[in-house]
Amino acid sequence: MALQGIEGMSPTMRAFVQQVRLFLRDFAALNRLIAGEESSERMIGWAVLDAVSRFNGTPHFTRFALEDLLGMQLQNLLTRMTTESLLESVGLLQTRNQINYSNGGINVGVNDKTPLIMNWLQLFKSTTEQRLGQTKVAINIGYILGPANAGSASEYWAVNSTYLAY
């Protein structure tokens, strides 16, 4: 039931949701403090759709489905874009529910991980934005060249190809 009702749900999407969960190591056995999974399959599914939408909505605009992007070997980029969406969501939840309590010199904080989450989010965004831009440029160049034109060889290949043997 977790993924039912989500538009665009396919076996590929279900498998990718599990790959993202594996990347995040979001399993009940590993989440000792919360005794469960932090992100539901439905939430990860939403984050995948958000990542695909962000990819397509970044200029130059495209209309790729998840299967198309995975077929272009963009799994790593999509995993990180999905993680960004999840971290943003978890960060909002943590901020909204944060409470600090102090009594008799003992300080306790509940849901006080927002700064840590923001640091991770910043790390992911700094690398992902650059890779997303490079990927979009490469796709655009591929469209310009067309499927029949793989480019042309340079004379540097003829001059330097003998060095490849060493």
The reply to whether 18 falls in a domain is yes
Which of 6-15, 53-62, 68-77, 145-154 bottoms out in mean pLDDT, i.e. has the lowest? 145-154
The reply to whether 6 falls in a domain is no
| Collapsed DSSP state (helix, strand, coil) of residue 31 | coil
Place of tokens 């009702």: 5
pLDDT digits (tens, 9 = 90+) for 4-42: 666 667 899 999 999 999 998 888 777 766 767 888 899
| Collapsed DSSP state (helix, strand, coil) of residue 26 | coil
The reply to whether 73 falls in a domain is yes
The reply to whether 113 falls in a domain is yes
The reply to whether 132 falls in a domain is yes
Q: How many domains does the chain have?
A: 1
pLDDT digits (tens, 9 = 90+) for 74-131: 999 999 999 999 999 888 877 777 677 777 888 776 667 778 888 888 999 999 999 9
Give the structural domain span for 128.
11-165
Provide the whole-model pTM: 0.76
The reply to whether 5 falls in a domain is no
The reply to whether 161 falls in a domain is yes
Distance CA 122, CA 127 (A): 9
Is the pLDDT reported for residue 140 higher than 60?
A: yes
Q: Phi and psi at residue 108, in whole multiples of 5°?
A: -130, 135
Give the H/E segment covering residue 150: none
Distance CA 141, CA 11 (A): 31
